[in-house]
């Protein structure tokens, strides 16, 4: 009954023909050491069972570096700065500043560069804040490792605790139940060892591990192998990122840090991320403005240079057109909306690791969720105890509870659930005083556990066996039925199998319970058993699951379930969570499909079961190929690839570092409710950014069009580049309040994307409309105010500046349409901007920007021009709702 296994190297052991480590690294090296004998293993790693000396460990630490994942390393200052400069608008602003400097307008160049610096600083501040929050998450859990080392050569080994970061290849570590495995290691000795490696392999249940030569050379998932010979199935290896759930072991470290198998999988997190839906939308709008610049600026340069003969003036006109087409504060506005959204998500318990991910959240139309821990509570709960016919019967539960009570190995989730099946155990304990004699713990080869007890009132011993019905039933010869012991005939075996199927069809995990009275010291107590019945357990569906699924449906998001678990159980969980399963595709069937066939299949499939890491990634990629914007929720290393290829990767606090690193959003709660809340916030943030970008682009097109026309008819610039910049800055300051504003009713009712075509259609309407009223302003100032000479251009430019500030800011407020009363920050900011823009020409700062105080008639002119313009702009609101926001009448009531 002793299940201790150990590999020893005899003193006279012949040397291995290949004692040196293999030339290759990674998986080939792991496979090499998995089957090597202990003598060759220790010799190849230049270590011993007594462990490394402290000096040798220090030298190897300097050589191999800390045992830390790439995801946990603090980014350098230069890396943070490069990330902040990655915005395409930062480069555009720098080029614009250079053009102004060439055009001999240093003041305008300085303003542009200050604005560019402000945008970069805002992004850098956000990156630093996110990194600090991530370090707080990692600091919540601190662990140490028991390592065997020697103070000096020839001294006795000592066992002491060290941080996992200090481990090096060749270290001898001691593992116990509950310990995380700190590095890839080969077992030297193992006692009843079970390891949870679900974060690497996707296997839901722990797998047995043992040193070579004990019959556990390769472990497979109960759902079938993910590949022919997965390295995680090698029974003599344990991997960084896994956890010991039972037993104890001594192992020698093979690989640390970036060289571990975990980091090989996590390397998927460092591949370039595919362009997201929001990235594509922003790029489309930006290139539209760039194309307008490439056409308008040279045209103005040629036309004005030909008409006026003044090259410098023509260059200033061209630069003014470029300025007019550039939303200078776009980085700042977008950054502010992102930070506001990130702040609201942080208040809801979510950490944003990629700012642009907030916008992408608003575009999600498919949410890929895992079953375990997301729809369910990730804990096993006792539900019922029945006889072989499926009728309620307390005896199986009572017997299982007694067995758990007397087991010596640490309990797992199933053991805790069985303990709840009979809290007092009175039905069995009343038969006599029981004393534990021996036990055979559960493992995935036998798939059952046995406990041998001595009964103080009866001769012999009592054996209680519990485990998978497929392995327990063949060992039973009799059963308890109706309180009597009967022979387990073929008919009764069929009845028992039907009862098990009914349990499983209900989404329950089933444990068969049997007993036997044996004489003392029976070498094989697990035969001729008496079947008591079955214990049913479930992983309860979260109370919030059905509500969250309904909220997903109301928001127009399709839910797909991706799990490594069995199809029958997953279907039952989906039913209880309110998910209508329209199609099922399991891992083996998915592997039989090529990419094109999978793209067709994912559209009609709701449930994907028995999936491995690469299969999850293929499903997400196929969904994106269908044109969907995909959000994927995962927490294990086996989810990293899918997290990375999804439009929005979502992980949870407590996930492995690689998963958190690959994710855009890290939720504090694993439940689906957190995902729904994050999506709603993403849509609000996207709505505010969309409003600013659409209105700013349209008005900038209008400004540029006005300058183009003016360049052909006016002897001077209608507005200096500095004044255009100041006007744009004031408009941007007003837009800075948008993150605090409400969004349109119906905007959060369904997925939202950057609709470039809708924006362009609206720009074609509002831009020329704005330019038309600019030309009216030109005509009135030119003809009726008599400001028609270069000497009077300062007053001309001042009047247009005042008209532009007033009309543009009020249009931004006007297009809120049905969003309700503006938020107080919006009202205060807009009022302050309008007051500043109208008062500036009357202040000592006016000459700095080339302005002067206008005549009193300007106020009547502003009222006569701005009021009709706002009325015409109001007529475009239905176009704005329909083509830009894509809000239909039915959406407004949602």
Q: Which residues are catalytic?
A: 370
List the one residue out of 671, 689, 137, 743 whose CA is nearest residue 367. Answer: 671
Tokens representing 38? 């202990």
Name residues whose C-beta falls within 8 Å of residue 26's C-beta, 6 or more positions apart in sequence.
259, 261, 264
Q: What is the dihedral of CA 101, 107, 109, 113, to 10 degrees?
A: 150
Q: What is the DSSP string of 286-324?
A: HHHHHHHHHHHHHHHHHHHHHHH--HHHHHHHHHHHHHH
Indicate left, alpha or beta for 850 from its phi (over 0: left) and psi (-120 to 50: alpha).
Answer: left
Phi-psi map region of 220: left, alpha, beta (phi>0 left; psi -120 to 50 alpha): beta
From 15, 183, 213, 70, select the one nearest 657 (Cα to Cα): 70
Chain centre to alpha carbon of residue 532: 46
d(CA 256, CA 267): 14
Tokens at residue 64, please?
A: 């191999």
Bridge partners of 513, per DSSP, are 466, 533
Question: Which residues are within 8 A (CB) of 683 and not within 5 positions of it... i.e. 6 or more apart?
Answer: 361, 362, 743, 747, 748, 751, 752
**Other beta carbons within 10 Å of 2:** 6
Encoded tokens for 277: 């839906």
Residues 257 and 64 sit within 8 Å (Cβ to Cβ): yes
Which among 112, 577, 633 is positioned nearest to 366, based on CA atoms? 633
The answer to whether residues 885 and 747 touch, using CB atoms and an 8 Å cutoff, is: yes
Structure tokens that stand for 359 in this block: 């916008």
Round to whole Å and give the CA distance between 847 and 797. 12
CB-CB contact of 293 with 213 (8 Å) = no
Owner of token pair 């020893």: 8
């Amino acid at each position: 009954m002793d299940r201790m296994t150990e590999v020893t190297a005899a003193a006279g052991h012949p040397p291995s023909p290949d004692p040196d480590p293999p030339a290759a690294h990674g998986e080939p090296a792991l496979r090499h050491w998995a089957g090597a004998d202990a003598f060759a293993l220790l010799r190849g790693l230049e270590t011993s069972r007594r462990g490394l000396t402290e000096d040798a460990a220090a030298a190897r630490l300097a050589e191999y570096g800390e045992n830390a994942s790439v995801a946990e390393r603090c980014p350098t200052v230069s890396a943070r700065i490069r990330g902040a400069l990655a915005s395409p608008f930062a480069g555009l602003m720098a080029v614009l500043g250079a053009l102004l400097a060439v055009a001999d307008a240093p003041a305008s160049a300085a303003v542009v560069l200050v604005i560019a610096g402000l945008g970069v600083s805002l992004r850098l501040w956000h990156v630093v804040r996110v990194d600090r929050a991530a370090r707080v998450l990692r600091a919540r859990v601190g662990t140490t490792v028991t390592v065997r080392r020697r103070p000096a050569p020839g001294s006795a080994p000592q066992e002491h605790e060290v941080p996992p970061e200090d481990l090096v290849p060749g270290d001898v570590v001691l593992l116990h139940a509950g310990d995380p495995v700190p590095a890839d290691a080969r077992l030297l000795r193992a006692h009843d060892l079970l390891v949870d490696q679900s974060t690497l392999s996707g296997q839901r249940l722990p797998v047995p591990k043992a040193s070579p030569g004990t019959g556990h050379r390769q472990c497979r998932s109960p759902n079938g192998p993910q590949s022919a010979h997965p390295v995680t199935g090698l029974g003599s290896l344990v991997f960084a990122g896994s956890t010991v759930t039972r037993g104890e072991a001594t192992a020698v470290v093979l690989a640390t840090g970036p060289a571990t198998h975990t980091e090989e999988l996590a390397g998927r997190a460092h591949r370039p991320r595919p362009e997201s839906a929001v990235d594509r939308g922003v790029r489309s709008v930006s290139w539209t403005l760039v194309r307008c610049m490439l056409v308008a600026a040279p045209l103005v340069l040629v036309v004005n240079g030909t008409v006026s003969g003044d090259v410098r003036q023509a260059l200033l006109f061209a630069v003014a057109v470029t300025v007019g087409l550039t939303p200078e504060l776009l980085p700042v506005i977008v950054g502010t909306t992102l930070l506001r959204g990130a702040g609201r998500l942080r208040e809801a318990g979510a950490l944003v690791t990629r700012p642009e991910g907030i916008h992408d959240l608003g575009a999600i139309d498919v949410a890929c969720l895992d079953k375990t821990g997301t729809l369910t509570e990730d804990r096993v709960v006792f539900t019922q105890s029945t006889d072989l016919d499926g009728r309620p019967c307390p005896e199986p539960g009572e017997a299982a509870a007694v067995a758990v009570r007397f087991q010596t190995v640490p309990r797992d989730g199933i053991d805790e659930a069985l303990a709840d099946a009979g809290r007092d155990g009175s039905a069995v304990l009343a038969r006599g005083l029981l004393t534990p004699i021996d036990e055979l713990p559960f493992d995935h080869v036998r798939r059952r556990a046995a406990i041998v007890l001595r009964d103080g009132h009866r001769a012999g011993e009592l054996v209680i066996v519990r485990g998978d019905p497929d392995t327990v039933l063949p060992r039973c010869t009799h059963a308890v039925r109706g309180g009597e012991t009967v022979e387990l005939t073929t008919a009764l075996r069929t009845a028992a199998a039907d009862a098990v199927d009914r349990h499983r069809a209900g989404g329950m995990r089933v444990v068969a319970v049997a007993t036997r009275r044996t004489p003392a010291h029976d070498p094989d107590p697990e035969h001729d058993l008496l079947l008591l019945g079955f214990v049913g357990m479930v992983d309860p569906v979260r109370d919030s699951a059905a509500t969250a699924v309904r909220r997903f449906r109301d928001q127009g998001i399709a839910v797909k379930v991706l799990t490594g678990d069995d199809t029958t159980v997953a279907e039952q969980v989906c039913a209880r969570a309110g998910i209508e399963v329209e199609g099922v595709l399991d891992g083996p069937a998915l592997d039989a499909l090529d990419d094109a066939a999978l793209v067709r299949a994912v559209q009609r499939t709701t449930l994907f079961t028995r999936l491995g890491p690469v299969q999850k990634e293929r499903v997400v990629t196929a969904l994106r190929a269908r044109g969907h914007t995909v959000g994927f929720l995962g927490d294990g290393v086996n989810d990293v690839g899918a997290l990375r290829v999804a439009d929005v990767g979502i992980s949870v606090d407590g996930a492995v570092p690689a998963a958190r690193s690959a994710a855009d959003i890290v939720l504090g709660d694993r439940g689906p409710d957190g995902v729904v809340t994050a999506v709603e916030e993403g849509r609000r943030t996207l709505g505010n950014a969309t409003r600013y970008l659409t209105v700013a682009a349209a008005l900038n097109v209008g400004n540029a069009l006005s300058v183009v026309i003016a360049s052909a008819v006016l002897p001077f610039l209608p507005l200096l580049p500095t004044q255009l910049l100041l006007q744009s800055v004031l408009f941007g300051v007003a837009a800075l309040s948008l993150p605090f504003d409400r969004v349109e009713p119906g905007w959060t009712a369904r997925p939202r994307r950057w609709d470039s075509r809708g924006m362009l259609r609206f720009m074609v309407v509002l831009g020329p409309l704005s330019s038309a009223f600019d030309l009216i302003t030109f005509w009135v100032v030119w003809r009726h105010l008599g400001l028609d000479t270069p000497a009077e251009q300062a007053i001309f430019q001042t009047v247009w500046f005042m008209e532009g500030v007033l009309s543009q800011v009020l249009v931004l407020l006007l297009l809120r349409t049905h969003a309700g009363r503006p938020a107080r920050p919006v009202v205060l900011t807009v009022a302050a901007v309008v007051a500043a823009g109208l008062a500036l020409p009357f202040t000592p700062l006016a000459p700095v920007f080339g302005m002067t105080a206008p005549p009193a008639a300007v106020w009547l002119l502003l009222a006569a021009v701005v009021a009709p313009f706002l009325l015409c702009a109001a007529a475009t609101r239905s176009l704005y709702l329909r083509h830009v926001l894509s809000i239909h009448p039915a959406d407004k009531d949602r």
